[in-house]
Amino acid sequence: MPIITSPWVEIVLAFATIVFGILVEKWYVSKYSIAFNAVNTIILAFTLDASQIITIILLIVYAVIGAYSIRSKGHNTVKQLFGSKCYGSLSLALALDQLNRSFLTRSILALLEQFIPSLQILEQNIVVFSWMMIAVVVFVIQGIVLLKSKRSH
């Protein structure tokens, strides 16, 4: 029997990736980081159950777009979408879904559906909704870190 079960290892790795993104990728996401995250996204896709084929396809598409962004001369803002903050948020959303079927996200969604009934469509895409929620929180934390680092200089 393992000391730590798989979802908990994935959660710890996701948090480590997010912290790396917040502390190291403040202003710039390197092409190596994007490539690493793209490869890990594909690996992550293949760890899912085969019945999640749409999620698997979307993850592979996300990874391919991320890999393509390495070659583009576009703004760093677009590349942030493929950096460690977004990839860490994605892997955390998938790990939480595996751990407890996204219980907290489902609860938040149920609350929001009382005010916006059209959000029911997100129930079939709970991992995507979780990813968006986690990413927003991560980028807010990033903003706070940036503000505090500017004030200290």
- Asked whether residue 88 carries a pLDDT value surpassing 90, the answer given is yes
Q: Is 36 exposed, middle or buried (0-12, 13-18, 19+ CB in 10 A)?
A: middle
More confident position, 59 or 7: 59
Closest CA to 22 of 128, 152, 151, 135: 135
> Which residues constitute the domain of residue 73?
6-146
Question: Is residue 152 domain-resident?
Answer: no
**What's residue 112's pLDDT?**
81
Beta carbons within 8 Å of 99's beta carbon, 6+ residues apart: 7, 8, 11
- Mean of pLDDT values over 136-140: 94
95 within 8 A of 104, measured Cβ to Cβ? no
Does any domain span residue 137?
yes
Read off the pLDDT of residues 40-87 as tens digits, 9 standing for 90 and up: 999 988 888 777 788 888 889 999 998 888 887 766 677 888 899 999
- Number of domains observed in the structure of the chain: 1
